[in-house]
Chain A
Amino acid sequence: MSDVPRFWRESNHRYRLVGTKCNNCGSTFFPPRDVCPKCRRESIGKMEELEFSGYGEVYSYTVVHDGLEPFKFQLPYILAMIKTDEGPLVTGQIVDADPSEVKIGSRVRVTLRRIREEGKTGIIQYGYKFILEK
């Protein structure tokens, strides 16, 4: 089954790291949430979209040597948990870097890259990845 509708619904947060902020307690979320898990009903009507700055630092990372078929051309690739400047942890690839260049605490910024294709005739899915700040 095609992923077109699902990806289309999520494109703004996949392309631009658009999450949400609870204006009741100030917590930020990525992926976006409709209701704040801390404030629950108190947050209804107080959640707003928040476009993250795209900056953060490496919280932890691993190097994937045996990846899924769509990532075969990128092996070995770096998969990291990024502590965004806004707070939430976001998992994503670090690209254009040798694994030896990555350290816990390294500053990164977001970039937009191809994630996968639905075959040769299908849609191209784009999304966030990260590159090291130089």
Chain B
Amino acid sequence: MASIVSYGSYIPRYRIKAEEIARIWGENPDNIKNGLMVYSKSVPAPDEDVLTISTEAARNAINRWGKENRKKIGAIYVGSESHPYAVKPTASILVESLGLDYNIMAADYEFACKAGTAAIQNVIGLVDSDMIEYGMAIGADTSQGAPGDALEYSASAGGTAFIIGKKGIADINKTYSFTTDTPDFWRREGEKYPSHGGRFTGEPAYFKHILTAAKKMMELMNTKPEDYDYAVFHQPNGKFPTRAAKMLGFKDSQIEEGLMTPYIGNTYSNSMMIGLSAILDKAEPGDRILAVAFGSGAGSDAFDITVNDSIKSFNRNSAPTVRKQLENPIWIDYAYYVKFRKKIIMRGD
């Protein structure tokens, strides 16, 4: 059975508040904060992208595991919808930036917000089939929302890396996926900003896939919501996962630990993964976790995870926790935000 051997996350230090975005577009910030449950979001610095964010998250995971182990990684997969290049893998640059062995399988994945969990599933398969001893799966994004669009309040940046092997700190008991052709959100080749189906992104997309995957997983594992200490769902905003949890019969106390979007925004491929990372920052042996990602287009990946005794001797303090990274942000205004996100038309653009 595959197990999470180590993990690490990274959140850019720059943040913008929902009030500041609402001020520019003449909207009532309370509608955003109370309606979508998004209070602020992370903003990547001008020199950050998915490669640099992935490197930071992966270095945190490697530091917790032990730098001397990194050459044992036999596969690296990076899920994102904002890879720096259209053609040139992020994964191959990571092999060098992390100092991994060159005898390694590597590729970039794309499936909207669940490309990182697709990477996890591939690594699980390779570990369980003994093709590799350890593999790394990363979910990272510097997501874009069109100016004035509802997405602008949530589209943010961050990354999480998981190292997976046979013996780790949290056993992955099972994974299950549910996939349909649902055009709720998309970005055409060459387009700068994504488009979405407005309210269509709710019931037929997010809720249908998250609820189906969560229910099916509990059916396969013969479990009920009360059997889990923690649950974490994809978080395009704070409202959707809170509502999905209620519909499934989970209590707020089960989802609070992994609910990060209200503070850092929707980090897309990293969204559910950073929630799981925040849970592992606190988890104790025996804790059971239901984790369900969602990617537009659309599909959900569910994971049933049990934290084991090894977490007691695991060196969690060798990297900053997710909540530690929430501290001490640099707040920026909308003018800096448009400069950092390169939304200003420069000469020659």
A113 within 8 A of B: yes
A74 within 8 A of B: yes
Which residues of B are found within 8 Å of A85, using beta-carbon distances?
none
**Contact (Cβ within 8 A) B47 A124:** no
B96 within 8 A of A: yes
| Contact string against B for A residues 110-127, beta-carbon threshold 8 Å, 1 for contact and 0 otherwise | 011111000000001010
**Contact (Cβ within 8 A) A112 B56:** yes
With A112-B55, A113-B47, A114-B49 in contact, do A96 and B99 touch (Cβ < 8 Å)? no
Residue of B nearest to A72 (CB): B346
**Contact (Cβ within 8 A) A96 B55:** no
A82-134 interface with B by 8 A CB criterion = 95-96, 98, 111-115, 124, 126, 129, 134
**Contact (Cβ within 8 A) A96 B96:** no
B46 within 8 A of A: yes
B199 within 8 A of A: no
Residue of A nearest to B328 (CB): A134
| Contact string against A for B residues 8-36, beta-carbon threshold 8 Å, 1 for contact and 0 otherwise | 00001110000000000000000000000
Which residues of B are found within 8 Å of A11, using beta-carbon distances?
96
**Contact (Cβ within 8 A) A73 B340:** yes
**Contact (Cβ within 8 A) B97 A126:** yes
Which residues of A are found within 8 Å of B48, using beta-carbon distances?
113-114
Residue of A nearest to B329 (CB): A96
A59 within 8 A of B: no
Which residues of A are found within 8 Å of B13, using beta-carbon distances?
96
Which residues of A are found within 8 Å of B56, using beta-carbon distances?
111-112
The residue that B99 contacts in the complex, of A16, A73, A111, with Cβ under 8 A, is A16
A51 within 8 A of B: yes
In the complex, what distance in Å separates the CA atom of A4 from the CA atom of B185?
Answer: 36
In the complex, what distance in Å separates the CA atom of A74 from the CA atom of B84?
Answer: 19
In the complex, what distance in Å separates the CA atom of A115 from the CA atom of B48?
Answer: 10
With A114-B47, A114-B49, A124-B84 in contact, do A96 and B330 touch (Cβ < 8 Å)? yes
B339 within 8 A of A: yes
Which residues of A are found within 8 Å of B84, using beta-carbon distances?
124
B93 within 8 A of A: yes
Chain B's interface: helix, strand, loop or mixed, by majority?
Answer: loop
With A74-B46, A98-B330, A126-B97 in contact, do A112 and B52 touch (Cβ < 8 Å)? yes
A61 within 8 A of B: no
In the complex, what distance in Å separates the CA atom of A15 from the CA atom of B92?
Answer: 13
| Contact string against B for A residues 58-76, beta-carbon threshold 8 Å, 1 for contact and 0 otherwise | 0000000000000001100
B223-266 interface with A by 8 A CB criterion = none
Q: Which of B12, B46, B99 has the most CB of A within 10 A?
A: B46
In the complex, what distance in Å separates the CA atom of A112 from the CA atom of B48?
Answer: 9
Residue of A nearest to B93 (CB): A126
**Contact (Cβ within 8 A) A111 B52:** yes
B342 within 8 A of A: yes
In the complex, what distance in Å separates the CA atom of A74 from the CA atom of B44?
Answer: 12
In the complex, what distance in Å separates the CA atom of A126 from the CA atom of B49?
Answer: 10
| Contact string against A for B residues 95-108, beta-carbon threshold 8 Å, 1 for contact and 0 otherwise | 01111000000000
With A96-B13, A112-B52, A112-B55 in contact, do A74 and B96 touch (Cβ < 8 Å)? no
Which residues of B are found within 8 Å of A16, using beta-carbon distances?
96-99
The residue that A126 contacts in the complex, of B14, B52, B339, with Cβ under 8 A, is B52
With A96-B13, A96-B330 in contact, do A15 and B45 touch (Cβ < 8 Å)? no
In the complex, what distance in Å separates the CA atom of A31 from the CA atom of B49?
Answer: 25
Q: A12-B99, A111-B55, A112-B97 are in contact. List 10 more A-B contacts (CB 8 A).
A: A15-B96, A16-B96, A16-B99, A74-B46, A74-B47, A95-B45, A112-B55, A126-B93, A126-B97, A134-B328
10 shortest A-B CB distances, which residue pairs?
A: A73-B46, A113-B47, A114-B47, A15-B97, A96-B13, A112-B55, A112-B52, A113-B52, A15-B96, A112-B97
**Using a CB–CB distance below 8 Å, which chain B residues touch chain A?**
12-14, 45-49, 51-52, 55-56, 84-85, 93, 96-99, 327-328, 330, 339-340, 342
Q: List 25 A-B contacts (CB under 8 A).
A: A12-B96, A12-B99, A15-B93, A15-B96, A15-B97, A16-B97, A16-B99, A51-B99, A73-B340, A73-B342, A95-B45, A95-B47, A111-B52, A111-B56, A112-B55, A113-B45, A113-B47, A114-B47, A114-B52, A124-B49, A124-B84, A124-B85, A126-B51, A129-B47, A134-B328
